[in-house]
Structure 1
């Protein structure tokens, strides 16, 4: 239990708090285990713990065993099966992509209950009781299982009325003369207008044109739909807005960041039937995503995808 909690949290203090013992007791237990195995299980850095390859193997085995034990206990005791999947993601991902597709999930299992939690930061899945989290990054999160979903691509969008009134926008550099909506995330790195211009080969002035600053990407999307200015958005989050004609591409230039969206869960949690069902459904939705579906011209409407 000491090792499992320590590996799950990657923090001896949090493990001690969960187990109601002292942090030195956790450290001593881990040292004894490592001595008995004659192998290091953790890499101890100044402010963080990381699992070694041996630690990762042991954690996968231990956590899987505990999951199996919990399932068996539920079966023996006659406890009702837990058909709730706790899913967390950003507000814009939940609103624009996940919620519109939930009726499709009901076709696979109408009894499945989704506990959807929107968050402005990447949570501690175990501490927050989350089964699966959708996030952007490099996929390297020790202690978690990850599954790659979509490539992160950044597009500039605006309302059709804005483009008709202030366009056309011929070159990416023309955007420097337009009203830009800036989304600034205080907790996670998100590519902004400065990085977008630099990735497009454009020199960035000391001061960028600004019409509005927001701390939520859903607000940036709504601002562009309402004609406030041009914002940056990533697919597939902006697809519904583009397909409905609420927004269009202000310019067809696309910037790729090298990062991806991932589904993230605690090791072996997908062995539980309801979590595995949700992950399989999510994977199927990703297979239907067409990365090349965007219009090639600014102002053109995107055809909606059939699912």
Structure 2
């Protein structure tokens, strides 16, 4: 059998009146008229079938039933207020909690964070790494950066930039080609593969019509893209690079793109927020900054 609850707005008014024992003061605290307070108390008394207040010439006093009732319900309202303050404090103060995956953190976000901290020194950013998609009900984070098709339930999305991939290697590795050999010979040598991006090579080879050139290639796997690219830097073979993540290496010339045939895919990097999120300055500031930085990649 369902439990009975009184009308909550009259109950809230009663709690304030019981605490102050003054209709005028209660009306001022609630920002309503004294007659509105009286009507709410009357509605609660009608529901309960008892008199809660005794109206006297110089004010009001609680009846015995009213005092007993107030003694039980006032702590409940205090607990509700405390719980509400905690929720608001957790979402309005403290650090900005951002979750993403290791490769994005190491190769894209961390190099840019000094700029954010210089612009907004009052906002502390706590970055955590995880591969599974975020669940804001489960994970204690404010924002997440995810890679995928953007079809995630109960979230708001901002597109950061699409996924663009192509083979990369060190300049020295390219120079190891026999004189007169075409670059396609590299595809028959060692191909470096990231565990979480296992299909990247096959996708690129298929899109460029070079699958046959890599049929006999040895494949060496690594647990992350960061390690895969480090292996390419050290001349172990050729890897598939994510263009947005390797801008520093391209600018320095430590990694090159021997084929210059990038493949842009439907998947992309997204900034993800809860579908219902209370306004937070730090969230909006970080979001605006991140989108501006991502726009530089697209340009």
Which range, TM-score by smaller chain?
A: 0.5 to 0.7
Q: Please, which of 230, 233, 245 is the counterpart of residue 225 of structure 1?
A: 233
Provide Cα deviations, 1:7-50, integer angstroms capped at 9, x if missing partner: xxxxxxxxxxxxxxxxxxxxxxxxxxxxxxxxxxxxxxxxxxxx
Indicate if the aligned counterparts of 2:184 and 2:213 stay in contact, CA closer than 8 A. Answer: no
Match of 1:283 in 2: 291
Match of 1:86 in 2: 97
TM-score when normalising by structure 2: 0.65
Q: Please, which of 271, 281, 284 is the counterpart of residue 273 of structure 1?
A: 281
Indicate if the aligned counterparts of 2:188 and 2:213 stay in contact, CA closer than 8 A. Answer: no
Q: Please, which of 71, 96, 107 is the counterpart of residue 107 of structure 2?
A: 96
Indicate if the aligned counterparts of 2:165 and 2:200 stay in contact, CA closer than 8 A. Answer: no
> How big is the alpha-carbon RMSD for the aligned residues of Structure 1 and Structure 2?
3.0
Paired residue total? 219
Match of 2:261 in 1: 253
Whole-Å Cα distance in 2 between the matches of residues 231 and 277 of structure 1?
36
Q: 1:275 to 1:209 in 2, by over 3 A?
A: same
Whole-Å Cα distance in 1 between the matches of residues 98 and 205 of structure 2?
34
Whole-Å Cα distance in 2 between the matches of residues 168 and 254 of structure 1?
26
Q: 1:130 to 1:286 in 2, by over 3 A?
A: same
What is the Cα deviation at residue 176 of structure 1?
A: 2.6
Q: 1:235 to 1:269 in 2, by over 3 A?
A: farther
Q: 1:106 to 1:141 in 2, by over 3 A?
A: same
Whole-Å Cα distance in 1 between the matches of residues 207 and 141 of structure 2?
35
Q: 1:182 to 1:156 in 2, by over 3 A?
A: same
Provide Cα deviations, 1:76-124, integer angstroms capped at 9, x if missing partner: 99x9951411112221111111111111102331011111112233232
Structure 1: any 5+ residue segments left out of the alignment?
A: 1-68, 292-307
Whole-Å Cα distance in 2 between the matches of residues 94 and 180 of structure 1?
24
Match of 2:21 in 1: none
Segments ≥4 residues shifted beyond 3 Å: 69-77, 167-175, 203-208
Indicate if the aligned counterparts of 1:172 and 1:200 stay in contact, CA closer than 8 A. Answer: no
Structure 2: any 5+ residue segments left out of the alignment?
A: 1-80
More helix by share: 2
